[in-house]
Chains A and B, each alone.
Chain A
Amino acid sequence: MNDKIDEILELLYITDERGGSLAEAGIWPEARNLLNSMAADGLVEIGDDGPLAMTNAGRARAEQIIRLHRLAERLLEDVLELSPSVAEEGACQFEHCLSTDVADSICTLLGHPTTCPHGRPIPRGECCRREKRGVEPVVVPLSELESGKDARVLYIGTKHHDRLDRLTSMGVLPGAELRLHQRRPTFVIQLGETTLALDQSIAQDIFVRRKADRAKKAMGQ
């Protein structure tokens, strides 16, 4: 029952996001009963021929579900490197069983991503608002690491074969520890005794995990 309500809210949210009217969601009249009970709970407003709008409460709940779904997509696709179709399936299950707290820690781990792999916005959570007050994400693309910081390479997100090969042969591989010396005019990193200068566009593809002690220090501030 609850899952059904969630799915409908999700559908309404996406329809709304795309800029369509809620009537276009195509759930009227099949889901009439469900919508009526949702209206009774104060989640949607309905008219004679379909849903009119989501209430604030309904929107908040929808945002939460969407957020879970899209964070899960990010996690499964970027970190666990599952193929998009597998990730999508997993995400659909995740969205119903994750708590808000777990979502926030995933969000933090991923560096408060703003979009899902399909490029749609991820609604902000409590953790993202806190982040503005100085808590740093643990996993970031190299391009978002501050200069002078140490980090470990987690994965390389590029699909360019050549680029990948050149990076790996120079020692940029998962597990490699690096320090970012500077971000301008180009990125300069040091891995062991190798110093590499690289473009912003390459740095975006290298996802790193901050070194724990430094991340903690940053949180303490």
Chain B
Amino acid sequence: MACRNQDTSGNDTAAPPTIALVGNPNVGKSIIFSLLTGRYVVVSNYPGTTVEVSSGAARVAGERVEVVDTPGVNSLIPRSEDEEVARAILLDRRPRAVMQVLDAKNLRRGLLITTQLAEMGMPALLALNMWDEAMDRGIDIDGDRLARALGVPVVKTVATQKKGIGKLASSVADAAAPTVRIDYGPAIEEAIAKLEPLLPELPLDKRAMALMLLAGDPGLEERVESEIQDQRAGTESTPIAPHRQGRGRRRRWRGGRDADTGREDPTRHGPGHYTRDAIGAVCSELQSKFSEPVSYVISKKRAAHVDGIVADVMTMHRPSESTRLSRAAFFYLVAPVLSLIVCYLSASILVGIMNKFYGLGANAGAVTWWLAALGAVCYLVAVFRWEKHANSISALVSRIVMHPVLAFPVLAAALWIVYKLVGEFGAGQCVDFIENRIFGNTIEPAEGFGLVDLNMFFPGIYYYLAEIADEFGLLGPKIPFAGINYYLAQLADLVVSRDDLIYQLLLDEQAGLISIAITYSFAIVLPVVGFFFFAFALMEDSGYLPRLAVMVDWLFKKIGLNGKAVLPMVLGLGCGAMATLTTRILGSRRERVIATFLLALAIPCSAQLGIISLVLADIGGGGAFAIYVFVIISQFLLVGYLASKVLKGRKAEFLLEVPPMRMPRLKNVVVKTLFRITWFMKEAVPLFMLGTLALFILTRVGYNEETRPMGLLTYVERLGAPITTHWLGLPDSLEAKHDHAVAGTESDNQIQPQTDGGRRSTMEAFIMGFLRRDYATLSIRTNFKSGFYSSRQALVALVVITLFVPCLASLFVIVKERGAATAAIIVCFIVPYAFFVGGVLDKLLRLMNFGS
């Protein structure tokens, strides 16, 4: 999920040597990358964090090198797009050294990759990372012995504490190809010997290439094929073609790669086909000698070899004393308190809902406490029952948050906390504070700050402080601050008149670049996105997110995906563009397309969601909120279900590595949040400005009081009127423009002072929607606040804009990842569909007499 990556494949001679970081997923490659290069890339506690290559300069062993971070792989024969990206680095960049990062507590799996590196002849060095966790679990590894067994440097590291990184860097000089040679048995060895002379020259050891081909490796098959053709055609051996474009053509050598097929494709042409045939023949001949897939036979041999090494270097101890102490503290102190909190939170949510229907009255409080106590007892029983089995506290917590029953109160509590933090505090109080008190507006001065503002951060504190403050006479006078926009307007008054074009461009109450674009970016988007990313980082780093995948797998199966898709979906709440990139971790093209599609359709990003919740809160009542959530979720499921029916393909199967629960490191959470906020703002603010500018021009050019009251936008309004006014039931902005002068402002909401001639455009939101959906939502908010939209109309507009086209940034990523054709289909479906749903909703709401 690294967001900005430069693909530095242009290799010129002066380029510094490459050091590639590879290893299993979630072992700490990215964190080591950051430590070596000083460049931050996203570090999270789940496999598949990194899906793109990022590189940075570093100085190791007295030499300037380029360090490359890669997505995690479980095998160097890639089985998903992100794994392909990682392997391509090894083949294309010819790294000076491969720094393999291993999870010390999962040595066996790490060494499976080391043996593959050995076969490829890659100079390597090993970082036994997470040494702290291995020790806690009583795992000890003899590093020297391992180094001797493999013939490569082995360094124990704890990346989170920066331990061993210096030694790791200085060991790069000693990197050597691991001296592991596995005998795969006569049949396979014979096939390797037959293949080796047939293979073209690639930057890869022949034996490794042969093994990969025998095991079935579509990516490599394509490379070899194009290489053979190039050689036959007499051309120079060119840099290898980007192989991803040919994904559709895979499986051509041997029909299917499954054990049951040895068929050959009759439609082979091209100069190299004799060699290709010969390679294919060796592969299928070997397969016919085994009843199991050859790759499985190879894996088993490899694993047996690795087991020998592991048995030689690894010993198990009892967990250390300090661990036992913290265990006791956890079981007798933390666990009871936590379970009571969790149960109380979820009980109060439950009782709150029950109260709506049955009216528990005065009993509600008692019922909540009883439920909470009961729940807490359940938790404690589970905790103590599993105590002796769980070999660590994190393992125990892990089991609880995945338990079929016990997990739900935890989920409810987690959502509640996120809602309080992001929804109420971030999108509510912080937005209110920054928008009205810090930025203010150009017309009236803002209130200024006072002691009362402390209440925002420490609810209730004002109550106690008020008396004391009163005593000392501090309560009354506030720190006067009229708001940035107000001061700017005053300042501008000294230079230009308010009718001046420059003034209007920057500070116009309706379309000023500063008073609108900048103010909205920092007053609304920034706090919402910031708090969301913070909460999200906590979920990521604790390891809760992948466990969510376990819980909702069944639901995602219904829409042709599996639990794994939770990661991109939740990420989509942060930013659609990032999320679309992360769909690479999904297993098949079908899943990736469905996920991309749903992300574009029904997942609003946090900025948009924050503004939506503001409007919904203004509409009032839980009703609007419930309807909105229901419509969006039901569309998500419905369209997903239909898409899974339309798109053919093998059923998505769920196989996910669940990382251990970890205590989030505050530093990483903060750095990651800031990193993502910066990225988001860089993306959003220019587009906000651009959109505002475009609107400014549209409304000014061709302005005519009578015929074109909104400038060029008038035409757009007229064009869109059939849909917006007749089908969606939104008000006609052109008529409203006329009425406005007559009706005055009596119905207006007082929060935003309404000047005459306020722009009240319906189409604006949809035009802006193409740039950014959050911006479009802001326009709806303005329309609602000014009383132009009724509650019903606002709700309909919100739904349409949520389903509406993905924002520009996401669209670019969709085109890049899924191709222009798929992107076009997605957009062509979504736009009419969003309007369709909006219209139906409008009719239903009218039937329900909503908002009247």
Given the contacts A81-B292, A185-B551, A168 and B299 also touching, CB distance less than 8 Å: yes
Q: Evaluate contact between B257 and A197: CB separation under 8 angstroms.
A: no
Which residues does chain A contribute within 8 Å of B77, judged by CB atoms? 165
Q: Is B640 an interface residue (CB 8 A)?
A: no
Q: Say yes or no: B655 contacts A197, CB within 8 Å.
A: yes
The reply to whether B79 and A202 form a contact with Cβ atoms under 8 Å apart is no
How far in angstroms is the closest Cβ of chain A from B218?
11
| CA distance in complex: A113, B183 (Å) | 37
> How far, in Å, is A180 (CB) from chain B's closest CB?
11
B residues within 8 A CB of A163? 653, 655
**In the complex, are the beta carbons of A168 and B300 less than 8 A apart?**
yes
- Would you call B403 an interface residue if the criterion is a C-beta within 8 Å of the partner chain's C-beta atoms? yes
Chain B neighbourhood of A171, CB < 8 A: 106, 108-109, 112, 303
A164 CA / B389 CA spacing, docked (Å) = 29
* B404 interface contact, C-beta 8 A: yes
Q: CB within 8 A of B553: which of A82, A186, A190?
A: A186
Identify which of A164, A179, A192, A202 contacts B108 (C-beta below 8 A): A192
Give A167 to B223 CA distance when docked, in angstroms: 26
Check B655 against A202 for contact (C-beta < 8 Å).
yes
Check B259 for interface membership: any CB of A closer than 8 A.
Answer: yes
Q: Contact: B653 with A199, CB < 8 Å?
A: yes
Looking at A82, A162, A169, A202, which has the most chain B CB atoms within 10 Å of its CB? A169
Q: How far is the CA of A198 from the CA of B587 in the complex (A)?
A: 14
Q: Are B657 and A188 in contact (CB under 8 A)?
A: no
Q: Among the listed B106, B399, B657, B659, which residue makes an inter-chain contact with A181, where contact means beta carbons less than 8 Å apart?
A: B399
Contact (Cβ within 8 A) A185 B550: yes
Closest CB of chain A to B54's CB: distance in Å?
24
A198 touches B655 (CB 8 A): yes
B655 pairs with A196, CB closer than 8 A: yes
| Alpha-carbon distance between A182 and B406 when the two chains are bound, in angstroms | 12
Bound: A162/B139 CA distance, A: 32
Residue B654 interfacial (CB < 8 Å) = yes
Bound-state Cα–Cα, A74 to B78, Å: 34
Distance A159 CA – B293 CA, assembled complex (angstroms): 8
Measured between C-beta atoms, what is the minimum distance from A45 to chain B in Å?
A: 44
Dominant SS among interface residues on chain A:
mixed
Could you tell me if B300 and A174 are in contact, using CB atoms closer than 8 angstroms?
yes
A164 touches B295 (CB 8 A): yes
- B103 adjacent to chain A (CB < 8 Å): yes
Q: How many A-B residue pairs have CB under 8 A?
A: 128
CB distance from B660 to the nearest CB of A (A): 7
> Are A185 and B554 touching (Cβ within 8 A)?
yes
1/0 contact trace for B73-86 toward A, CB 8 Å?
01101010000000
Asked if residues B74 and A166 are in contact (CB atoms below 8 Å), the reply is yes
* With known contacts A168-B296, A171-B108, A182-B404, A195–B259 Cβ distance under 8 A: no
Contact in complex: B660, A195 (CB < 8 Å): yes
Q: Does A221 contact B (CB under 8 A)?
A: no
Q: Considering the complex, give the chain A residue whose CB is closest to the CB of B407.
A: A185
What mask results when residues 192 to 221 of chain A are scored 1 for a CB within 8 Å of chain B, else 0? 111111110110000000000000000000
In the complex, A26 Cα to B520 Cα: how many Å?
Answer: 88
Does B809 count as interface, using CB distance less than 8 angstroms? no
B128 to chain A, nearest CB (A): 13
Query: B79's contact among A162, A182, A199, by CB below 8 Å, is which?
Result: A162
Q: How far is the CB of A184 from chain B (nearest CB, A)?
A: 4
Residue B216 interfacial (CB < 8 Å): yes
Let me know if A193 and B106 touch, CB within 8 A.
yes
A164 to B259, CA, bound (A): 11
Asked whether B658 lies within 8 Å of A197 as measured between CB atoms, the reply is yes
- Does A173 sit within 8 A of B, measured CB to CB? yes
From 85 to 137 in chain B, residues with beta carbon under 8 angstroms from any chain A beta carbon are 103, 105-106, 108-109, 112, 137
B638-664: contact bitstring with A at CB < 8 Å (1 yes, 0 no)? Answer: 000000000000010111111110000
| Residues 764-822 of B at the A interface (beta carbon under 8 Å) | none
Q: Looking at the complex, which one of A156, A175, A194, A197 makes contact with B550 (CB distance below 8 Å)?
A: A197
Contact status of A195 and B658, CB under 8 A, knowing A169-B112, A182-B403, A185-B551: yes
Chain B 560-576 interface 0/1 with A at a Cβ cutoff of 8 Å (1 = within)? 00110000000000000
A42 within 8 Å of B (CB atoms)? no
Once the chains bind, are A197 and B654 in contact (CB under 8 Å)? yes
- A168, B549: Cα distance in complex, Å: 22
| Contacts A168-B300, A186-B553, A197-B549 given; does A161 touch B655 at CB 8 Å | no
Contact A169–B299 (Cβ < 8 Å): yes
Contact check, B655 vs A199: say whether CB atoms are below 8 A apart: yes
Report the bound CA distance from A188 to B105 in whole Å.
19
> Which residue of B137, B257, B303 is within 8 Å of A193 (Cβ)?
B137
- In the complex, chain B residues whose CB is within 8 Å of the CB of A83: 291
- Please give, as numbers and ranges, the residues of chain A lying within 8 Å of B22 by CB-CB distance: none
Tell me, yes or no, whether A121 is within 8 Å of chain B by CB.
Answer: no
Counting CB contacts under 8 A, is A148 at the interface?
Answer: yes
Partner of B563, one of A159, A160, A186, A193: A186
Instruction: In the A-B complex, list the 7 residue pairs whose CB atoms are closest, starting with the nearest.
Output: A169-B74, A169-B75, A168-B299, A193-B105, A195-B658, A184-B404, A199-B654
B interface vs A, CB < 8 Å? 74-75, 77, 79, 103, 105-106, 108-109, 112, 137, 139, 215-216, 257-260, 291-293, 295-296, 299-300, 303, 307, 389, 395, 398-399, 402-404, 546, 549-551, 553-554, 562-563, 587, 651, 653-660
A-B pairs with beta carbons under 8 Å apart, 8 shown: A161-B257, A165-B77, A169-B75, A169-B109, A170-B74, A173-B299, A190-B395, A196-B656
Q: Which residues from chain A sit less than 8 Å from chain B, CB to CB?
A: 81-83, 148, 156, 159-171, 173-175, 179, 181-182, 184-186, 188, 190, 192-199, 201-202
9 extra interface residue pairs, beta carbon distance < 8 Å, beyond A164-B293, A185-B554, A186-B654:
A162-B79, A167-B655, A179-B389, A185-B550, A188-B550, A193-B137, A197-B654, A197-B658, A202-B655
